[in-house]
Amino acid sequence: MNVPPSQYAMKQGKIQGHHRDRLAVVYVRQSTMQQMERHQESTKLQYGLAERAQQMGWANQRVQVIDSDLGKSGASVEGRLGFQQLLAEVAMNHVGIVLGLDMSRLARSCKDWHHLLEVCALFRTLIADLDGVYDPSDYNDRLLLGLKGTMSEAELHIIKQRMLAGKLAKARRGELGVLVPYGYVRKPSGEVTKDPDEQAQQTIQLIFTQFEKLGTMRGVLKFLVDNGIKLPYRLASGQNKGDLEWHRPVQGTLHSLLHNPIYAGAYAYGRRPADPRKQKPGRPFTGKIVAKMDQWQVLLKDHLPAYITWERYEQNVKQMSNNQNIALGVVRNGSALLSRLIFCGRCGKRMLTDYPSNKNKMRYACTNNRINYAGKLCQSFSGEALDDLIADMVLQALEPAALEISLKVAEDLNTEREQLHQQWKQRLERAHYQVTRAFRQYNAVEPENRLVARTLERECENALMEEDRIKTEYTRFQEKQPIALSAREREAIHRLSHDIPALWHSPQTSQADRQAVIRQLVDHLVVTVQGNTECVDVQIHWIGGNITETAMVRPIKCIENLSYYPQLLNRIATLRGEGHFTKNIAQILNAEGWRSANRNSEFSGGMVYAIIQKGLRSMKSPLAIEVEKNADEWTTDELSAKLDVSYSTIYHWLRQGKMTARVAIGLSRRIWLVHADEEEIRRLQTLASNIHERRVARIH
């Protein structure tokens, strides 16, 4: 601790009176708490610099020791309140000299070190270590101080590199110790094995079994909570280190458990590396990110005892990723059976589900063009028709395997019940053990020692009460769910195998259940609407690679968009020509199988009348010939075009009696047929020319 004064003899002339008028600050720092415990001599030597300051001429009351950074790394100024205090004191011109054991005590970062040098040079503050006294404003001293700071930073990087290299080498051998998760223990030899507690092992196995069955983390969590199943946890520290406790399941724990590759027997290192950009100041273990599997630094398969296979683990991870990805066809809330499963046959993009007013009326729409290019919808249609079609196709696909499905359901139910009853039996066994253990402890104490006996009596009573509680709950559970399926339950399952549609349409079957069934069979669909018509082409891509092509009829708003609209007009024109009224025409169309724009609606008299008014009158084809004309007869349209006069002029002449005409009943209206031979046409042309002359005269 005693340092020869000759160490400070060099360049003593640098210390001036104005330096001694200010404070001498001794900065003390050790990187970790472990260094403070194992290297106390270094700490004492740093505190001893206060005596050196007095030997250099500073009064005892003007020597200040800053030691609030003990146990903190010098790699950054973040979190080092002592170093920040030092900078503040120098910047306020309160410090004449800064003393440290060496440069690495002050800073391991060139950024922080040169910041201190700049401030000290500006306020003419000296820096001293065991090698001498330096003036940061002097060129040679500044050069030497900069070199020392660079070496200090490089030394830190070298130390870290060596430590990380050794750590990685040990990890590549699978020997680097990490905290083991639920269901595992680490022996004193360092070997990782499954938890020796049988109930702990079966609970972990039950979680993976239920996830394979249910497919969602929330479903597993609900199953555990509904059945009162808790998770086994070994205390990692404290007075009761190694004891087994049972904690309530939470979603975060299940997320970590299902994502951990150790349950597939793999040793992994580098799954959660630290991102320096996300680390919080003074907290080196923050900023963790989740790396992809191909970015893990070490992955050793079949290295540890496993609960599941590696293939099952990969499927679980993929399933959880799909559950979080809204772009994939996982089960979602809503009435749509095929949400996120449909692709547009026109542009190839995934179609979205739209609920315009309520969740019972929904549509499938391709909105890519509208969202990305402010264009029109690529195509859309009512979702009910497609859902019904695919549901029928799925039920047909399930029909051959109905008996096999019923047997599998019965087997799964039996297995699940056996697992649950096994859990209850193990809980009873553990409770009984706690009772016998409490009584052994009570019997081992001397009866006269009432101070201990009273405590053990309470423990016995608590253990007995807990055992009775578990027995009562187990009895209730047995009443609801016997161990084996009853004959009535087996008969119900067998009966449902012959009536899967009834099970599908049962009120007890939720929409989420139907979605889950469809997603077990259907990979995706490609749907194409033929123009604006009611015809829709559907291509079903089944899981396994098979493709089925079918078609459906969608409801549309405009009857003019029907693919058979021209044929419908022809048929109505024919029936009208035969003298049928609109009501009779509607009955004939319904009997012949014609349907309106709404695929489930029949024609009414009003609908036929609307078609006649809107459709037949606007036709510019041979269908427009509604009556047979005699020789030298003209329709008003034909005569107007022949004479080059307006329709109103023709009707004006008719009212004045200047033409001979008759009224005929057409298909959709009354039609005037004007008799006009060649002589009559010449007379009418003279009348028309007079009208044109008078019009020209008025203009001039």
Structure token pair of residue 451: 């101070």
Hey, what are 650's tokens?
Answer: 């023709």
Q: How is residue 68 written in tokens?
A: 């609030």
State yes or no: is 237 an active-site residue: no
Nearest to 134 by CA among 111, 92, 102: 102
Distance CA 177, CA 261 (A): 15
What is the DSSP pairing of strand 670-675 with strand 633-635? antiparallel
Contact criterion met (CB below 8 Å) for 518 and 338: yes
Question: Do the beta carbons of residue 659 and residue 653 sit within 8 Å?
Answer: yes
- The answer for residues whose C-beta is within 8 angstroms of residue 83's C-beta and 6 or more apart is 27, 29, 69, 74, 77, 106, 107, 112
CA distance 301 to 266: 4
Residue 390 contacts residue 337 (beta carbons within 8 Å) = yes
Residues in the chain, how many? 700
Catalytic residue (one of 31, 104, 339, 596): 31
d(CA 460, CA 443): 11
- State CA 139 to chain mean position distance: 60
Beta bridge partners of 323: none
Angle CA 158–159–160, to nearest 5: 90
- Residue whose tokens read 């427009």: 624
From CA 653, how far away is CA 637, in angstroms rounded? 14
Crossing angle of the two packed helices 511-521 and 383-398, in degrees rounded to 10: 60
Note whether 169 and 269 are within 8 A (CB). no
User: Across-strand partners of 350?
Assistant: 343
Helices (H), 374-401: 383-398
Q: Residue 386: which residues within 8 A CB-CB, separation 6 or more?
A: 338, 342, 364, 525, 527, 536, 538, 552, 554
**Cα–Cα distance measured from residue 411 to residue 406, given in angstroms and rounded to the nearest whole number:** 9
Amino acid at 215: G
Selection from 63, 66, 67, 49 nearest residue 8 by Cα? 49
Instruction: Mention every residue, 6+ apart, whose C-beta is less than 8 A from residue 661.
Output: 654, 672, 673, 674, 675
Catalytic residue list: 31
